Amino acid sequence: MASRAKNFLKKLEPSLLPFVGAGRVDGPMPELEKRRFLFVTGKGGVGKTTVSAAIATALAARGKRVLIAMAHTKERLSAVLGTKPIGEELVQCSPGIWAVNIDPQVALYEYGLLVIKVKALTNAVFRNEYISAFLRAVPGMYEWAMLGKAWFHTTEVAHDGRPRFDVVIFDAPATGHGLDMLRVPKVILDVAPPGVLRRDAERAVGLFRDPTRSGILVVTLPEEMPVTETIELVNAVETELSMPVLRIIINGIFPPLFSDGERATLGARRELLTLDAAESASAGVDAAVVAAARRAVRENVQRESIRRLIATRPESMAMLPFLFDDASTRAGTDLLAEVLGAPVIAGR
């Protein structure tokens, strides 16, 4: 597997890294393994869950106990980890890796039980349909239930006195919802009276704002819309929340096949980029030329998107390869974990 990660970097170096201003940088794992909480977010469809699984796999390989907490999402983590479906009960997926798909109603009940401490009374409150309807209507309550549960797992202690989990990775919702979720603890501090809720929000905010213990990882693709949303998200985090963005992870990068001249020649043939061209090209030379033109255009888009991101944001960046054969599989996750765990990777 090590040769596959090295091969990715080798293919990127000649025609992509110098042109976009990227290069070889230190791998992120020595930095990430020191954190207690990692908040992974980005535009929908950019591979947040895959990246979360790859980071967890790389951390587990370094001897860390890692929890991946999902925010009541359509569960696909089990596919990329090669395990059984993951539900609201915390389960161990592989050595060093646990996971849970947080249901906000269940999380609220568990939180209520921690506060009230009497199960019968907790049932009377949180199983009441009118109170449940009220809680659903309170802005930010479900978001805090999920984020708060993920934070709570950073406070748990094992029987030997060590933290139950060394690192909690929160696989957050897509950009807009993820940003709203990060705002909730601050809102609680602004409006909540003294009490348990405010106390826990203060502790959570203290962790989230501590750059030595926590950080945000923003996942994107080398495409126009994901890069635009990434720039807007990082700007909002920086100006509104005072939370540290550790790295931007550019996922799904194609090693370039063509030189600049070849890309220009292929991209100039607009007739090869129409729907009709793709449908009429049967096989052989015609299909190969159409595929080459489309690949050349995609390489140009990739290059321009990375250049814009690098020119706009100063954060450290890491680059991950597009998975042609192993997408959404444990083998693909292991490959990405190996790339992330390498001492030197592609990035800025």
Please report the domains of the chain, with CATH numbers, ordered by start residue: 2-320 (3.40.50.300)
Q: Where are the beta strands (DSSP E) in the chain?
A: 23-26, 37-42, 66-70, 91-94, 97-101, 167-171, 214-220, 245-253, 317-321, 344-347
From residue 115, alpha-carbon distances to 90, 121, 140 in Å are: 21, 11, 19
Give the 3-state secondary structure of residue 40.
Answer: strand
**What does the buried/exposed string (b/e) look like for 320-346 if buried means 16 or more CB atoms within 10 Å of the residue's CB?**
bbbbeeeeebbebbbbbbbbbbbeebb
Q: What number is the average pLDDT over the span 163-173?
A: 95
3-state class of 202 per DSSP? helix
What is the DSSP code (8-state) at residue 111?
H
Amino acid at 19: F
Q: How confident is the model at residue 113 (pLDDT cuts 50, 70, 90)?
A: low
Token pair of 190, please? 């602004």
CA pair distance 118, 126, nearest whole angstrom = 12
Q: What is the pLDDT of residues 26-80, one digit of tens each?
A: 999 999 999 999 999 999 999 999 999 999 999 999 999 999 999 988 899 999 9
User: Model pTM?
Assistant: 0.89
The confidence score (pLDDT) of residue 193 equals 75
113 CB-contact burial (10 Å; exposed 0-12 / middle 13-18 / buried 19+): middle
Tokens matching residue 163: 């933290």
Structure confidence by residue, pLDDT tens digits, 204-252: 889 998 999 999 999 999 999 999 999 999 998 888 888 889 999 999 9
